[in-house]
């Protein structure tokens, strides 16, 4: 009996000690919260421009300044160009991940084996044309044939020059002379017209006191897309996101170009506020066009191919289908 009482007393003491021990022990810590997943590294994109920093690239600078590209996951470096800038060659060699070109240049370079594809078009109407003195009375490229006294400084042998001369019967009637790209000769000679870009030479000439007329190449039937954003072919997987960010940035730039224009002036000492105003006004209808910012259509690509076939630059069986990405911004059917 005594042994039984001792056994029960011992068991009770052990149970009480265990209970007190458990009660006094600190609570187990909650499960550790896993650390947040690291944000993916931004995709580096070097965008090779085919001219100096000017408003024709305003939307791209806007995208860097306002964070449109960064928010879409890109770290964009804009690489300025100049005369003859080999943007598509830089793209093909991997020294750039995107490039600015024109639709006709892209088609010609693809024919030579460059693997590039158009993803977005900044200028709906070609910004190329011919600049003439206001007092010449010229209002269209067609009228050049009846003004043999006028010489035209051109990039001789270029697709534009060859097509204009052949399609508008200028061969033997109008003399084409090499252009230096400067407006100095034009300003000094009232009988000289000059190949020009709507965002460049006309505004430069006006800034120096010379009133000019810009003869639209698009009115004459030559109308490749300008400021075309090209990527490698086949396109990288980030292409659609980059195009969407570009469209957003350009929309913002057209609504308020203040910040991007200030950056352009900082990067290009040839620009000033008056020149910037002239360029912005001049380029607006070329950017918008009729189909809307960024749009590309099968019919327009076909038109450009046909023009290049006409002058023997492309083969008659050339198809534009693989040269551009359809289904992008405001896709249009042929």
Of the candidates 76, 101, 102, which has an alpha carbon nearest to the alpha carbon of residue 90? 101
Burial of 223 (0-12, 13-18, 19+ CB in 10 A): buried
The predicted model gives 95-102 an average pLDDT of 98
The predicted model gives 312-332 an average pLDDT of 82
The predicted structure's pLDDT at residue 267: 96
The predicted structure's pLDDT at residue 39: 76
Of the given ranges (2-6, 9-13, 18-22, 137-141), which has the lowest mean pLDDT? 2-6
Same fold flag, 43-125+224-323 and 128-220: yes
Q: How far apart are CA 238 and CA 325, in angstroms?
A: 13
Residue 52 has pLDDT above 60, yes or no: yes
Q: How far apart are CA 217 and CA 53, in angstroms?
A: 24
- CATH homologous superfamily of domain 43-125+224-323? Periplasmic binding protein-like II (3.40.190.10)
Structure pTM? 0.86
Q: How far apart are CA 215 and CA 269, in angstroms?
A: 28
Helix (H, G, I), strand (E, B) or coil at 269: coil
Domain limits of the chain? 43-125+224-323, 128-220
CATH topology classification for 128-220? D-Maltodextrin-Binding Protein; domain 2 (3.40.190)
Q: What is the 3-state secondary structure (H, E, C) of 138-179?
A: CCCHHHHHHCCCCEEEECCCCHHHHHHHHHCCCCCCCCEEEC
Tens of pLDDT, residue by residue over 199-222, are 999 999 999 999 999 999 999 999
Specify whether the CB–CB gap between 113 and 121 falls below 8 A. Answer: no
Tens of pLDDT, residue by residue over 264-287, are 999 999 999 889 999 999 999 999
Residue 14 has pLDDT above 60, yes or no: no
The predicted model gives 283-304 an average pLDDT of 94
Specify whether the CB–CB gap between 223 and 231 falls below 8 A. Answer: no
Rounded to an integer, what is the distance from CA 327 to the centroid of its chain?
Answer: 17
């Amino acid at each position: 009996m005594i042994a039984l009482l001792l056994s029960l007393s011992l068991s009770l003491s052990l149970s009480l000690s265990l209970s007190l021990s458990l009660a006094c022990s600190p609570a187990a810590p909650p499960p550790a919260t896993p650390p947040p997943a690291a944000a993916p590294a931004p995709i580096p994109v070097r965008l090779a421009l085919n001219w100096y920093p000017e408003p024709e690239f305003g939307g791209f600078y806007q995208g860097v300044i306002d964070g449109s590209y960064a928010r879409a996951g890109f770290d964009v470096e804009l690489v300025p160009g100049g005369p003859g800038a080999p943007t598509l060659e830089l793209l093909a060699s991997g020294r750039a991940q995107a490039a600015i070109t024109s639709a006709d240049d892209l088609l010609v370079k693809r024919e030579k084996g460059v693997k590039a594809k158009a993803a977005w078009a900044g200028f709906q109407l070609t910004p190329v044309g011919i600049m003439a003195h206001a007092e010449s009375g010229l209002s269209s490229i067609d009228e050049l044939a009846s003004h043999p006294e006028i010489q035209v400084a051109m990039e001789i042998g270029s697709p534009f020059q060859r097509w204009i001369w052949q399609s508008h019967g200028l061969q033997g009637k109008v003399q084409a002379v090499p252009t230096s790209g400067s407006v100095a000769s034009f300003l000094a000679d009232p009988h000289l017209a000059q190949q020009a870009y709507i965002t460049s030479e006309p505004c430069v000439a006006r800034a120096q006191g010379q009133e000019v007329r810009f003869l639209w190449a698009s009115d004459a039937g030559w109308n490749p897309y300008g400021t075309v954003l090209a990527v490698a072919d086949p396109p990288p997987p980030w292409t659609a996101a980059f195009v969407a960010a570009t469209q957003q940035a350009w929309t913002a730039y057209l609504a308020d170009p203040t910040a991007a224009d200030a950056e352009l002036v900082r990067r290009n000492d040839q620009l000033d506020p008056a020149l910037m105003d002239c360029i912005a006004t001049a380029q607006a209808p070329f950017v918008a066009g009729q189909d809307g910012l960024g749009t590309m259509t099968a019919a327009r690509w076909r038109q450009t191919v046909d023009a290049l076939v006409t002058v023997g630059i492309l083969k008659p069986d050339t198809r534009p289908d693989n040269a551009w990405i359809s289904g992008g911004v405001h896709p249009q059917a042929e």
